[in-house]
Homo-oligomer: A and B are copies of this chain.
Amino acid sequence: MAVAIALSRRGRPSSAPNPNVGCLLVRDGKVVARGWTQPGGRPHAEAVAIAAAGEAARGATAYVSLEPCAHASPRGPACSDSLIVAGVARVVIAAQDPDPRTDGAGITRLQAAGIEVVTGVLPAGARAAMAPWWTRQVEGRPFVTLKLATSLDGCIALRDGSSRWITGERARAHGHLERASHQAILVGRGTFEADAPKLDVRLAGLADRSPKKLLLTTGGAPEGWTAVASPQAIADVDSVLVEGGAGAASAFLAADRVDRLLLYRAPILIGGGKRALGDIGLTDLAEAHDRWRLSDSRLLGSDRLDVYERIRTY
């Protein structure tokens, strides 16, 4: 299942609006096919794996990171039907599909066809791998990542606004990779005016992955940009990378709309420069605790990247 979940990440973010799912077909202890949701959302992961396996799918075990769908569409048959037709013997599922058109119906259909079904294998890992789609599906809002690039003392620029460069090349390249994995990036008015021409993915081979551009503003947006009036008002995307500046970052934090925090930190001290955040509505220090969990930490050149995830209990 861990492999199926890893495969699912390959469909992110290109599988939108469909969930990025991974599928592994195993027969006699050997992997006979792998699949993940293709760009635009079709074919689904199961369809890709079944096509690759051919006759080898018969009698195999399918590991899927999300319950196979039960709803056919003009773009293809339901995956639960495809698995039955392919003759798989057993289906192992990480997470049940929260989409009301499936939500258990895929499992029921497989079982009715005499297929053994195991559910709930590494569900948290599968949900994390498809967090953008899951957040949109279950909560009706996008999964938001906030990126901050600061000095050790939490500054994002000198007092005069100069911020080139705080972090080094490797950290900045990592930031571009993060852009490529999001459907949209968002900046506030100040960052827009300072950096607008540069908010593209500048990595070889990924230039076509430049995300939709959102501007947090109560006014209008120029061509190529979409105006967003508030953190609550984002439509049509599953994942948003909030890039700056302090105003936009603070607005999203104050609204508790940040799910993941990317903290790039350079080994420098600025002192008295522009700070990463303004007021986020905190009045009691105790309330600041137990909200963020470190999920990754790595050195990028001489900079450190710490990734924190918002601890949420639904």
Q: Are A288 and B268 in contact (CB under 8 A)?
A: yes
- Residues 152-194 of A, flagged 1 when their CB comes within 8 A of B and 0 if not, give 1111001100111110000000000000000000000000000
Residues of chain B contacted by A254 (CB below 8 angstroms): 271
Q: Is A302 an interface residue (CB 8 A)?
A: yes
Q: Are B271 and A279 in contact (CB under 8 A)?
A: yes
Question: A154's closest neighbor in chain B, by CB?
Answer: B154
Q: Are A267 and B154 in contact (CB under 8 A)?
A: no
Q: A152 with B292: in contact, given A269-B277, A277-B271, A280-B271 (CB under 8 Å)? A: yes
Q: Are A151 and B288 in contact (CB under 8 A)?
A: yes
Q: Are A282 and B152 in contact (CB under 8 A)?
A: no
Q: Is A278 an interface residue (CB 8 A)?
A: yes
Shortest CB-to-CB span from A163 to chain B, Å, is 7
Residues of chain B contacted by A297 (CB below 8 angstroms): 304
- Residues 100-142 of A, flagged 1 when their CB comes within 8 A of B and 0 if not, give 0000000000000000000000000000000000000000000
Residues of chain B contacted by A269 (CB below 8 angstroms): 253, 261, 277, 280, 282, 288, 291-292
Q: Are A263 and B294 in contact (CB under 8 A)?
A: no
Q: Give the distance in Å from the alpha carbon of A278 to the alpha carbon of B151 in the complex.
A: 13
Q: Are A293 and B308 in contact (CB under 8 A)?
A: no
Q: Are A280 and B285 in contact (CB under 8 A)?
A: no
Question: A311's closest neighbor in chain B, by CB?
Answer: B267
Q: Is A312 an interface residue (CB 8 A)?
A: no
* Residues of chain A at interface, number, CB under 8 A: 49
Q: Is A148 an interface residue (CB 8 A)?
A: yes
Q: Are A158 and B271 in contact (CB under 8 A)?
A: no
Residues of chain B contacted by A283 (CB below 8 angstroms): 158
Q: Is A221 an interface residue (CB 8 A)?
A: no
Q: Give the distance in Å from the alpha carbon of A288 to the alpha carbon of B271 in the complex.
A: 10
- Residues 275-314 of A, flagged 1 when their CB comes within 8 A of B and 0 if not, give 1111111110100110111100101001010101000000
Q: Is A250 an interface residue (CB 8 A)?
A: yes
Shortest CB-to-CB span from A165 to chain B, Å, is 7
Q: Is A145 an interface residue (CB 8 A)?
A: no
Q: Are A270 and B282 in contact (CB under 8 A)?
A: yes
Q: Is A150 an interface residue (CB 8 A)?
A: yes
A164, A277, A302 — most chain B CB neighbours (10 Å) = A277
Shortest CB-to-CB span from A194 to chain B, Å, is 15
Q: A277 with B164: in contact, given A267-B292, A271-B253 (CB under 8 Å)? A: no
Q: Are A276 and B163 in contact (CB under 8 A)?
A: no
Residues of chain B contacted by A164 (CB below 8 angstroms): 285
Q: A-B pairs with the 5 shortest C-beta distances? A: A154-B154, A271-B280, A272-B279, A268-B288, A271-B277
